[in-house]
Structure 1
Amino acid sequence: MAKWLDMPPVWLLGCLVLAWGQATYYPAGLSFGGAWSEFAGGLLVGGGVVLMALALSEFRRHRTTVIPHETPERLIQTGIFSRTRNPIYLGDALVLAGLILWWDAVLALPLVPIFVWVIEKRFIEPEEDRMRRKFRMDFARYCEKTRRWI
């Protein structure tokens, strides 16, 4: 059970609950400035969802696992993975930033770099260690040509 609680969507949900709570119960009279923040927030959320969908379609096409604590059967370097090694995590961060803007949760903005740090330390670094052991030089070459985030 604890293994399933320590998953990126749970961390994202926790940050979203904190951001929504801040916007709803403690706005502190602060604002990003109106309609532009809703528009920008919508663009970020939409972009994040598109990134996640593109990544999930690549996982499905290559028939490998999307579960962070498992080692994938294949190294995906095509599609969105040719641009970023972590499109789902990048999409999560965009969704978080976008909803913070949409909800006008100014004080929750620091949650974005905190979320990125947690994801990097809890998930990305261990995943990359497993992939380095399994795919060796292929993964090293992939890391040289494709950035971790953007």
Structure 2
Amino acid sequence: MNLQKVLLPPVWFLLSIILMVGLHLVLPVRQLFFPPVTYLGIGAIALGITVALFCDYLFRQKNTTIKPFQESSYLVREGIFQYSRNPIYLGMITVLTGLWLYLGSLTPVIIIPVFAWLIQEMFVKEEEQMLEAKFGEEYREYKATVRRWI
């Protein structure tokens, strides 16, 4: 069984949220942020969700798949994709960062770089290979002008 084909990014995202809350409740170590600073986390969560929903809208508008490992019919370069090749994953990281700020304790933050690394290694690299195989020079030009993350 190929783990990356079964556990897609939304599952890893949900597991990360559960782990962050669990670490906060069981092993908070130290409270770093307090209200009103913790309320900034709500804004970051809202921003991350908005980015992901806007990306979903762009994919639907161009009638191409948003699902990893499915062949795209269109290379989305509009909107936020002008600034990041992976804004959906960036939105997920923004939500996790917002959750960390909202929780305010130290230990949940360790999940964020682990999630980013896992997504890059399990999904982004293979998705990039697929896009390059499908779109060739158009994707190579895009990759040369737009960063992977930000």
| TM-score when normalising by structure 2 | 0.92
What does the per-residue CA deviation read over 1:89-118, in whole Å, with 9 as the maximum and x for residues that have no partner?
Answer: 000001111112212241121111110000
- Deviation for aligned residue 1:23: 1.2
Residue matched to 1:33 = 33
After TM superposition, the score normalised by the length of structure 1 is: 0.92
Percent identical pairs in the alignment equals 31
Deviation at 1:3, TM superposition (A): 6.3
Gaps of 5+ in 1: none
The CA distance in 2 between the partners of 1:108 and 1:33, in whole Å, is 12
Check whether the contact 2:33–2:101 (CA below 8 A) recurs between aligned residues.
Answer: no
Q: How many residues are paired up?
A: 149
In structure 2, the partner of 1:138 is: 138
Unaligned 5+ runs, structure 2: none
- Given that 2:31 and 2:105 are in contact with CA atoms closer than 8 Å, whether structure 1 keeps it comes out as yes
d(CA) in 2 for partners of 1:96, 1:7: 17
Q: In 1, are the aligned partners of 2:83 and 2:146 still within 8 Å (CA)?
A: yes
Residue of structure 2 equivalent to 1:10: 11
Tell me the SS of whatever aligns to 1:147. coil
